[in-house]
């Protein structure tokens, strides 16, 4: 599944209509969730039936394309299934009980309710919401694909405008940089660096958030000053809020591009990439480290690693990181060290290495030991239609990908 994204241009009234479509999608999703909460145990079929009732009852729901309504139901269903599967797997901590959405940012159409123009630079939304014709701007060319290959069309609101995403059903066989056979690498993500690999390479942390922190805080203060308690907010407040959001968007995009390019590089030049099975969610709870960890964007990195891995046919293995930084990668004996000890010096065999390089080698070894019989694919359970959603949550383009066409 490929996801292409274009910026959409239209008139103000059209944007209002997009907003209304987004609100309707949210309404259908929330109503289905409510229905499930009140009638525990209802399945997909009942939810669809409920959606049909909603469309008969509310004229604004009937105005939205029926397949788009279905997509909203599927969205609710996904949330429910995720909750059930977390319960079944006995995930530690919160199980992610489905929540009502208040601020949806997107609406998804399936194969109907829209029409691409002859030049494929314009898209018309043809349902009764009346969004009409939007101009598309982007670096991708939709001419390479059949209309039937476009399985989903999504309109997404961001702080700098509206975007249209196309999910295209197209098998992708990526090309490796060269004929590298049996090249494997282990990756250790850290605080000091973004990551260290088992070949001794190190990728520095770019710290986008910290660099922009001053500007972000300034924009945030300006926004807060204009906030009026207990009153409807002024236009000046809304403008300031938007300026603040755009600054955040910029940082997010910088981080995304960085993480993506690093992941692609490792995937293209290896046949096996081993990484820690990090539970980033738990790690971020450590307040002192949390800013550095969120800033580093490891979970996004792991997701892209997995995505590119499937594109380029590179195996990605997540291993239990337990003791990987403590054990000696040369003789296997445990050498205890604190977080501040940056060099691994083994008293047993005399092996000396950078702490993180040593850990990366351990990760690689562990992966090679397990990859033979049991492959742990911690991030591979995402349905392909969701990959685009999660990966392009904020991102703007797939610039870093070299597309074989």
Which residues contribute to the site for Zn ion (CB under 5 A)? 328, 330-331, 346, 348-349, 351
Nearer to Zn ion, 332 or 380 (CB): 332
Residue 179 CA, distance from chain mean position: 30
Give me the least distance between CB of 337 and Zn ion, in Å please: 13
The two tokens of residue 228 are 């009026």
**DSSP per-residue codes, 214-239:** HHHHHHHHHHHHT--TTSPPPHHHHH
User: Cα Rg for the chain, rounded, in angstroms?
Assistant: 24
Calculate ∠ Cα 346-350-356, nearest 5°. Answer: 45
Give me the least distance between CB of 329 and Zn ion, in Å please: 8
Cα 211 to Cα 189: distance, rounded to the nearest angstrom? 21
Residues sharing a CB contact under 8 Å with residue 40, sequence separation 6 or more, in sequence order: none
- Inter-residue contact 108 to 25 (CB < 8 Å): yes
Nearer to Zn ion, 145 or 351 (CB): 351
Short-list 237, 241, 211, CA closest to 226: 237
Nearer to Zn ion, 66 or 330 (CB): 330
Give me the least distance between CB of 191 and Zn ion, in Å please: 24
Nearer to Zn ion, 296 or 328 (CB): 328
Nearer to Zn ion, 92 or 331 (CB): 331
Cα 388 to Cα 69: distance, rounded to the nearest angstrom? 20
**DSSP per-residue codes, 25-83:** HHHHHHHHHHHHHHSTT--HHHHHHHHHHHHHH-HHHHHS-HHHHHHHHHHHHHHHHHH
Give me the least distance between CB of 349 and Zn ion, in Å please: 3
- Inter-residue contact 295 to 210 (CB < 8 Å): yes
Helix (H) or strand (E) holding 147: none
Helix-strand-coil split of the chain, %, nearest 5 = 45, 20, 40
Alpha-carbon torsion 355, 357, 362, 363, what sign? positive
Helix, strand, or coil (residue 124): strand
Give me the least distance between CB of 327 and Zn ion, in Å please: 9
Nearer to Zn ion, 273 or 335 (CB): 335
Nearer to Zn ion, 60 or 351 (CB): 351
Give me the least distance between CB of 321 and Zn ion, in Å please: 19
Give me the least distance between CB of 335 and Zn ion, in Å please: 7
Nearer to Zn ion, 318 or 346 (CB): 346
Give me the least distance between CB of 344 and Zn ion, in Å please: 9
């Amino acid at each position: 599944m490929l996801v292409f994204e274009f910026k959409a241009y239209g008139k103000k009234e059209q944007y209002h209509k997009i907003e209304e479509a987004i609100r309707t999608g949210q309404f259908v999703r929330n109503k289905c969730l409510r229905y499930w909460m009140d009638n525990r145990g209802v399945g997909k079929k009942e939810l669809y039936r409920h959606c049909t009732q909603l469309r008969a009852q509310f004229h604004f729901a009937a105005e939205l394309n029926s397949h788009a309504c279905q997509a909203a139901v599927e969205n609710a269903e996904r949330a429910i299934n995720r909750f059930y599967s977390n319960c079944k797997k006995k995930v530690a901590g919160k199980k992610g009980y489905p929540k009502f959405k208040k601020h949806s940012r997107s609406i998804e159409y399936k194969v109907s309710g829209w029409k691409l123009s002859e030049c494929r630079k314009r898209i018309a939304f043809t349902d009764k919401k009346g969004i009409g014709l939007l101009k598309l701007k982007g670096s991708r060319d939709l001419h390479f694909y059949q209309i039937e290959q476009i399985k989903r069309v999504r309109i997404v609101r961001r702080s700098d405008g509206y975007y249209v995403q196309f999910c295209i059903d197209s098998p992708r066989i990526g090309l490796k940089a060269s004929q590298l056979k049996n090249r494997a690498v282990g990756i250790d993500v850290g605080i000091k660096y973004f990551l260290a690999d088992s070949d001794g390479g190190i990728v520095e942390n770019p710290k986008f958030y910290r660099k922009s922190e001053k500007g972000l805080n300034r924009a945030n203060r300006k926004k807060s000053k204009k906030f009026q308690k207990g009153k409807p907010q002024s236009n000046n407040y809304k403008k300031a809020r938007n300026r603040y959001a755009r600054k955040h968007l910029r940082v997010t995009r910088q981080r995304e591009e960085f993480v993506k390019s690093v992941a692609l590089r490792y995937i293209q030049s290896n046949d096996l990439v081993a990484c820690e099975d990090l539970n980033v969610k738990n790690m971020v709870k450590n307040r002192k480290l949390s800013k550095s960890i969120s800033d580093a964007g490891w979970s996004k990195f792991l997701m892209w690693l997995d995505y590119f891995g499937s594109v380029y046919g590179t195996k990605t293995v997540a291993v239990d990181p337990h003791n990987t930084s403590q054990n000696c990668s040369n003789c296997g004996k445990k050498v205890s060290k604190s977080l501040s000890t940056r060099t691994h010096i083994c008293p047993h065999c005399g092996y000396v290495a950078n702490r993180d390089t040593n850990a990366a080698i351990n990760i690689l070894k562990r992966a090679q030991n397990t990859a033979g019989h049991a492959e742990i694919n911690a991030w591979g359970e995402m349905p392909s239609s969701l990959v685009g959603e999660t990966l392009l949550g904020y991102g703007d383009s797939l610039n870093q990908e070299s597309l074989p066409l």
